[in-house]
Structure 1
Amino acid sequence: MTAGDEGPNAGGFGHTGRMTMVIWADGRLVEQGQGALSAVDHGITVGDGVFETCTVFDGQAFALTRHLARLGRSARGLGLESPDEQKVRDGVTAVLDEAVRGGGPFDGRLRITVTAGVGPLGSGRTPGAQTVVVAAQESAMAPTSRSARSPWTRNEHSAVAGLKTTSYAENVVALADAVSKGGDESIFANTVGQLCEGTGSNVFVERGGELVTPPLEAGCLAGITRALLLEWGAEAGLPVREAEPDELPFTVLDEVALGEAQLLLTSSGRNVQPVTWLDGADVPVGELSAAARELFEKLCRDRLDP
């Protein structure tokens, strides 16, 4: 495997073009085009791995402790051993030190990937094997999103529901569909018609004087930014909460399209990002959505490891 790039629409980031990726693979820095992993690493052959993406502010990874905790939860959910946290932190330090070498601020994204390591060509694993890769790239976030409804559903009963795995094919296909329609994110329903999540984001709906996000039981990822907005919003007195079961059907997006409700995305690639375009039509930004974005942008640089 060579260490490659991610598309400009991945996670809501846009690349600044000022620098290439900095990559650390199992203890060593590697060049972007340099071979880094075995061709039979299970992360390549069957997508057997987990990952986290952190925002980087001025050369420091945001909410790293929370991301590492979720990395461990996802690994255990796949039946993998919890990653060696010190090894991962060493990789993060090496990558960010290299990224800021030469001076100047560095804002962007950092991705931590842990796979089941070298394994057979089938689904079986080699016990005890594990590969760790850390990569960072300078990038800038868009302030708003253009979203489209996905023609596919998220399976809330999947064996990997709620886990952040490298088996990302359905997200790649759904995002490409949204991009082909002029968007930058695709929004899923689950199998019973409830609003679920985006390909790489959580969703909040502003209606009735509240910001409401689908419950985890709907099949969505327990997003770090989602959790922080719930916590920081409550602390600041914003009416933000998790929805009751069946409170947010997928048809709530019809209300958004009509301007009767508003939509907000959250993720480490977007922070808090109001949706201004849905399925080809402009939609307004809600007052609470704008306030939530302002609050998060203020606190995230002051509280780097909340």
Structure 2
Amino acid sequence: MTLVLWADGELVGENQPALSAVDHGVTVGDGVFETCAVDDGRPFALTRHLRRLAASAAGLGLEAPDEARVREGVAAVLAAAPDAGRLRITVTAGIGPLGSARTPGAQTVVVAAAPATAAATAAVVRSPWTRNERSAVAGLKTTSYAENVVALLHAQERGGDEAVLANTVGDLCEGTGSNVFVERGGELVTPRLDTGCLAGITRELVLEWGAAEGIPVREARPGELPFEVLDDVLRGEAHLAITSSVRNLQPVVTLDGTSVEAGPLCAVVQTMFARRRAETVDP
């Protein structure tokens, strides 16, 4: 299949004009978005994604997205693309001035569906740049993604498919489009949200489902996961995994171009997540 787009009430071709050239999402990246996996024509965990979309909008000071309108777009693109594997919902501040000020009451909604595949494992590269945990948009899923584009390109040029970043005080934080988990001491531990990482939906479900099944998964204690923990991964003293809506949980088998072992607990959680995801479409 090809990309299917819905913009403000209409299906449009991928090469067809759909946004104003002065939409604030285009001129200053003033918008929020969500990406969902799609299983058999149904978006996975859509309710959680829409809840986070609203939280991101609130964090930017945007008006709450019209959920009924968003769901209309979701239904339209999935009806046109029943074999889609990925869904993206974008809400911007709409047509606005060329500077940072907004036009009150404006809003643009775009929904897109496309194919998606995910590998069983991941190759990551440490990024030389940091995530600012004190940023005004820390933890928000915004369309201002240039930093992630640059960091991911840096990783791809070095054979990786994801970059992992520290925050400004040296804590392990997140990937450009993923959360991270470290396996050591018989536990799977993920950075705290106050490191500046996104509150990932898959991260959230790994913590919830893992706890429900008695698997030792948890958030880190303050200072427990410095960025240097990745040196332990290279030495074989710890293991690494990344999570996202399309990746699910992927054990990391290459770090900075060096092969590393996938962790046994990572494999257990990967299997558990796939089973749970198959059991419910909107947990």
TM-score, length-scaled by structure 1: 0.92
CA displacement, residues 223-273 of structure 1 (integer Å, 9 cap, x when unaligned): 000000000011111100000000000000000011110001011121011
Q: 1:236 aligns with which of 213, 220, 228?
A: 213
Find the residue that maps to 1:291 and give its secondary structure: helix
Distance 1:78 1:86 in 2: 21
Instruction: Give yes or no for the alignment of 1:22 onto 2:1.
Output: no
What is aligned with 1:47? 29
2: CA distance, partners of 1:23 / 1:38:
15
Look up the equivalent residue of 2:131 and give its one-letter code. Answer: R
> Is the 1:42–1:119 contact (alpha carbons within 8 Å) kept by the matching residues of 2?
yes
Aligned-partner Cα distance in 2 for 1:138–1:281 = 30
Q: 1:178 to 1:198 in 2, by over 3 A?
A: same
**Which residue number corresponds to residue 16 of structure 2?**
34
Query: In the TM superposition, what are the counterparts of 1:144-223 in structure 2 within 5 Å?
Result: 144-223=121-200
Residue 62 (structure 2) aligns with: 80
Q: Map Cα deviations across residues 125-148 of structure 1 (whole Å, 9 max, x no partner).
A: 000000000000012111111000
TM-score (norm 2): 0.99
- For 2:116, the aligned partner's letter is S
Task: Give the Cα–Cα distance (whole angstroms) in 2 for the partners of residues 91 and 61 of structure 1.
Answer: 12
Q: Distance in 1 between matches of 2:228 and 2:84?
A: 37
Q: Which runs of 4+ in 1 moved over 3 A?
A: none
Structure 1: runs of 5 or more not aligned: 1-18, 101-105
RMSD in angstroms over aligned alpha carbons?
0.6
- Work out the CA distance in 1 between the residues paired with 2:167 and 2:53: 24
Aligned residue number for residue 250 of structure 1 = 227
Q: Secondary structure at the match of 1:230?
A: helix
1:301 deviates by 1.9
1:142 — aligned with what? 119
* Alignment-derived partner of residue 57 in structure 1: 39
CA contact (8 A) 2:117 2:246 kept: no
